[in-house]
Amino acid sequence: MESKPLYQTFLNKAVQLLAQRNHSSTELKQKLSIFYLKKLSTDVESSAQSINAHIDAVIAHCLSHHWLDDKQYIEQYINMRSRKGYGQNRILMELKQRGLPRSLIQYQLQQSEIDWIEVGLIQTQKKFRVSDKKDLQQKIKIFQFLTYRGFQQDEIKQIYSLF
pLDDT in tens, the chain (163 residues): 345 678 888 999 999 999 999 899 999 999 998 888 877 665 555 667 778 888 999 999 999 998 998 999 999 999 999 999 999 999 999 999 988 999 999 999 999 999 999 999 999 989 887 777 778 888 899 999 999 999 999 999 999 888 8
Check whether residue 137 and residue 123 sit in a common domain.
yes
Check whether residue 55 and residue 75 sit in a common domain.
no
* Number of CB atoms found within 10 A of residue 89's CB: 17
* Res 42: pLDDT: 58
In this predicted model, what pLDDT tens digit does every residue of 38-58 receive, in sequence order?
Answer: 776 655 556 677 788 889 999
Range of the domain at 15: 3-64
Check whether residue 29 and residue 82 sit in a common domain.
no
* Res 45: pLDDT: 58
Given 49, 64, 79, which residue is the final one in a domain? 64
Into how many domains does the chain fold? 3
Nearest to 52 by CA among 5, 10, 97: 10
Check whether residue 45 and residue 92 sit in a common domain.
no
In this structure, the dihedral spanned by the alpha carbons of residues 4, 99, 85 and 106, taken in order and rounded to 10 degrees, is -120
Cα 88 vs. chain centroid, distance in angstroms?
Answer: 12
Check whether residue 91 and residue 41 sit in a common domain.
no
Check whether residue 57 and residue 84 sit in a common domain.
no
In this predicted model, what pLDDT tens digit does every residue of 25-41 receive, in sequence order?
Answer: 999 999 998 888 877 66
Check whether residue 9 and residue 58 sit in a common domain.
yes
C-alpha distances out from residue 50 to 3, 43, 45, 53, Å: 9, 15, 10, 5
Check whether residue 74 and residue 58 sit in a common domain.
no
Q: Return the CATH number at 13.
A: 1.10.10
Check whether residue 51 and residue 100 sit in a common domain.
no
